[in-house]
Amino acid sequence: MSKSGSKFRNAFSHSEKRGSPSIKNLPKKHSGTKHSGTKHSGTKHSGTKHSGTKHSVIDTRAVIAIRWLALAGQTIALMIVAFGFGFDGAFHTAFGLVAVGAAVNLWQSWRSRYQRVTSRPELLLALSFDVIQLSGLLYLTGGMANPFAMLLLAPVVVSAALLDFRATVYLVVLVAFCAIMITHFYLPLPFSESDFTLPALYRSGLFTALLVSCLFIGFYVWYLADKARQANAALAAMQSLLERDRRATTLGSLAAAAAHKLGSPLNTIAVISHDMAAALKGKIAPEDEILGDVRLLNEEVERCRMILSELDRDAQTDNLARDVALPVSQMIRGLLDAKLTRLSERILFQSGARDASQEPQAKPLPDLKYALETLLDNADDFAATQIELTISWTEEAIEIEIKDDGPGFPASVLSRFGQPWNSSREGRDGHKGLGLFLAMTLIESLGGQMRILPSEQIKGAHITIFMPRTSLL
């Protein structure tokens, strides 16, 4: 993680070097993929949009229990008609179909004995089997004239509630096909009057009613379930953002308290270190290591005091002082002037448009400054020879890229990218693993997104920030 943590900057970052950064203007149009809006390639770790729960969770035990209930209902209905009413019919074959359904359910129970959640392809296959098995029973017991033909709606409703739109459409088509077949091909109802038959027009009406019910009820249930899933996903995303903001606010409060309490001890250390330097002057050789350590101590104390005063100044700055909008490349250069000067020997600053759009205007926001300084310090720690800072824009977005030619991010850091206490150097030299987390939190608070490319795809680290054109106004 970087040595200066965004809005909560670490007091022990590198000393400043004087010089001027090398500046190079980009061509008006970059080669490669055009970036616009908020859709970009790479590894996405944004908190503003989450896929959430695309489908409802399917409980395996509930699916098996519902099928047992359906099989029990089929068995009871067949037994009442066959033994209670004494009707003749192909009941042996019908009981055989129920037995097949029971065997399939037993197999699924055995297969899922250690599985609590049913996969969606497996549920779709099971619902298809239910449609075919019920259609077989209806074929043996009067076809569409059977009052229980409306039960063909049940698998469609289940699919609409738990599966996606494509799966529901597939089941509607399957139900329609089976309904057509049992409308024209079926064994008569086992009534005692052998000459009883329903008119063909009436059977066609039953088929039409079933098909319309499948379409209407299936679509309506799917629509309601999809809206519920979207609401759950939005709620999960909001909870994630609130949790991230809560952690950032907590860290900010701790940093503000630390800055307030560090003022007096730093003043005491500064007085003592200056007295030590004055007392040692003339008593030991100027090149002595002790005198060099005292001078270094004085320099670092002054840096701490400057950082604390800068944080205090930014917190007390009136918003009117930030109302002046500048071209985004000029604004970022002004924000990072001290950092670019210190890194002048190894940083390459570039700016340019990715299309024919005009350069957007932006205000010098401290949040952006601290985030970029953190990322640049992190790149400076790991870069072998060069760091690249590229500012580009399109009609919809501003893109900020920071690259270095170092070893890149290890897999352990990438897997928890954007989370606090995440660093390959955590616990060493005062590193806490908060730099990337704080930078990402600040970028997202401005409405932007920060992404990182895996080290396997490129050499070194490559962080990209996407901001809407209006987010910095």
DSSP 8-state class, residue 287:
T
CA atoms within 13 A on the CB side of 451: 16
Please name the amino acid found at residue 436.
L
pLDDT in tens, 444-453: 888 899 998 7
Backbone angles phi and psi of 349, in degrees to 5: -100, 125
Q: Which residue has the tokens 């910095």?
A: 472
Q: Which residues contact 281 (CB under 8 A, 6 or more apart)?
A: 291
Instruction: Tell which wins on pLDDT, 79 or 285.
Output: 79
Tokens of 252: 């900010």
According to the model, what pLDDT value does residue 391 have? Answer: 96
Short-list 161, 174, 150, CA closest to 57: 161
Question: Averaged over 43-61, what is the pLDDT?
Answer: 50
pLDDT recorded at residue 268 = 84
- Beta strands 361-362 and 43-44, pairing class: unpaired
CA distance 27 to 228: 47
Q: What is the mean pLDDT of residues 322-341?
A: 87
- Helices marked H in 46-193 — which ranges? 60-79, 91-111, 120-140, 153-162, 165-184
Residue 315 is predicted with a pLDDT of 56
pLDDT digit string, tens, across residues 207-252? 888 888 888 888 888 888 888 888 888 888 888 777 767 766 776 6
Torsion angle of the four alpha carbons 251, 254, 256, 258, in this order, in degrees rounded to the nearest 10:
-130
CB atoms within 10 A of CB 18: 7
Give the chain's end-to-end CA distance (angstroms, integer): 29
- pLDDT at residue 297 greater than cutoff 50: yes
Reported as a single tens digit per residue, the pLDDT across 144-203 is 888 888 888 888 888 888 888 888 899 999 999 999 998 888 888 766 455 667 777 777
Residue 444 tokens read as: 């997202």
From the list 148, 122, 121, the residue with the least C-alpha distance to 135 is 148
Q: Which of the 8 DSSP states describes residue 24?
A: E
Q: Span 399-421, mean pLDDT?
A: 85
Q: Is 341 exposed, middle or buried (0-12, 13-18, 19+ CB in 10 A)?
A: middle
pLDDT tens-place string over residues 353-402: 999 999 999 988 888 888 999 999 989 988 999 999 999 999 999 999 99
pLDDT above 60 for 7: no
Q: How far apart are CA 288 and CA 270, in angstroms?
A: 21
What is the average pLDDT score of the chain? Answer: 78
Give me the pLDDT at residue 302, please.
Answer: 83
Which sequence spans correspond to the domains of the chain? Answer: 60-238
Say what the pLDDT of residue 37 is. Answer: 40
Look at residue 313 and tell me whether its pLDDT is greater than 80: no
The answer to whether 214 and 152 are in contact (CB under 8 A) is: yes
* pLDDT at residue 472 in the model: 80
Tokens of 400: 């900020």
Per-residue pLDDT band at 23 (split at 50, 70, 90): very low
Query: Would you say how long the chain is, in residues?
Result: 473
